[in-house]
Amino acid sequence: MASVIRHAVAGLRWILIGAAVVAVVAGAAVGVATVALGHTPPHGTVALDRPIAEWSLVADPGIDRIQAMDAAVAAVPDSRAVAAEFETEHRGPVWEVEVVTSAGVEYEVTVDANTGEILGAAEHD
């Protein structure tokens, strides 16, 4: 009787290992299919990092991403913009723009998304 139980447990172990392998392969296939079908944003666009319902609570900003980056570059002499992120968490709608000077110093410039006014610039660590 003990050998029957031992064989049943061994068989069950291989079934569980097989199920785990199938799950991993299926997950990888879904990931590859997602990328292959183009469910990633094309180069040069900004992906929404929040659900659509949250964006509906935000008024249409007065300035777009490019205008915010231009304002940040104008605020920090001899710099170029490397990234911009739209935020609404604490102060209302703002663009947080990262700029880098020719000397390699990084700054984060906060731009009011409605008016384009520079709210602050801080050296980035």
pLDDT, tens digit, 9 for 90 and up, residues 48-105:
555 555 554 455 678 999 999 999 999 999 999 999 998 886 778 899 999 999 999 9
Q: What is the per-residue pLDDT for 15?
A: 78
Q: What is the pLDDT of residue 25?
A: 76
> What's the pLDDT at 47?
55
Q: What does the pLDDT average to over 35-57?
A: 54
Cα 105 to Cα 53: distance, rounded to the nearest angstrom: 37
Listed residue (115, 44, 116) closest to 74, CA to CA: 116
What is the predicted pLDDT for the residue at 23?
A: 76
Residues 100, 83: Cα–Cα separation, whole Å: 10
The confidence score (pLDDT) of residue 125 equals: 66
Contact 81, 113 (CB under 8 A): no
Please, which pLDDT band fits residue 28 given cuts at 50, 70 and 90? confident
Percent of the chain predicted with pLDDT > 90: 35
pLDDT for 106: 95
